[in-house]
């Protein structure tokens, strides 16, 4: 899950590859270069950055067995 954290609190942006936010400028990408043998990489992309995007962003990953 990706979160945007501001002084007003946190808001969820995504779950897995699915966006919760309605902001079309955001997207989430998942990369697994060796088919799960090493940790995967999750990226949050924001296009057309604005001053209102200034915040801390945090990714929470839960590993499935």
Model confidence pLDDT, tens digit, residues 18-51: 788 889 999 988 877 776 666 678 889 999 999 9
In a domain, 10, yes or no: no
Q: Is the pLDDT confidence value at 64 over 80?
A: no
Query: How far is the CA of 1 from the CAs of 24, 40, 51, 53, in angstroms?
Result: 17, 14, 23, 18
In a domain, 14, yes or no: no
Structure pTM? 0.73
Comparing 10-14, 23-27, 53-57, the range with the smallest average pLDDT is 10-14
In a domain, 16, yes or no: no
Cα distance between residue 6 and residue 4, in whole Å = 7
Domain count, the chain: 1
In sequence order, what are the beta bridge partners of 53? Answer: none
In a domain, 44, yes or no: yes
What are phi and psi for residue 51, nearest 5 degrees? -60, -35
In a domain, 33, yes or no: yes
Q: What is the predicted pLDDT for the residue at 54?
A: 93
In a domain, 27, yes or no: yes
Question: 32 vs 59, which has greater pLDDT?
Answer: 59
Q: What is the predicted pLDDT for the residue at 20?
A: 85
Cα distance between residue 28 and residue 43, in whole Å = 6
- Residue 46: domain span: 21-61
């Amino acid at each position: 899950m990706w979160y945007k954290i501001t002084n007003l609190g946190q808001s969820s942006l995504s779950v897995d590859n699915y966006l919760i936010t309605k902001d079309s400028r955001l997207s989430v990408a998942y990369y697994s270069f060796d088919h799960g043998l090493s940790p995967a990489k999750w990226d949050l992309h924001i296009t057309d950055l604005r001053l209102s995007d200034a915040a801390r962003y945090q990714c929470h990953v839960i590993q499935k067995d």
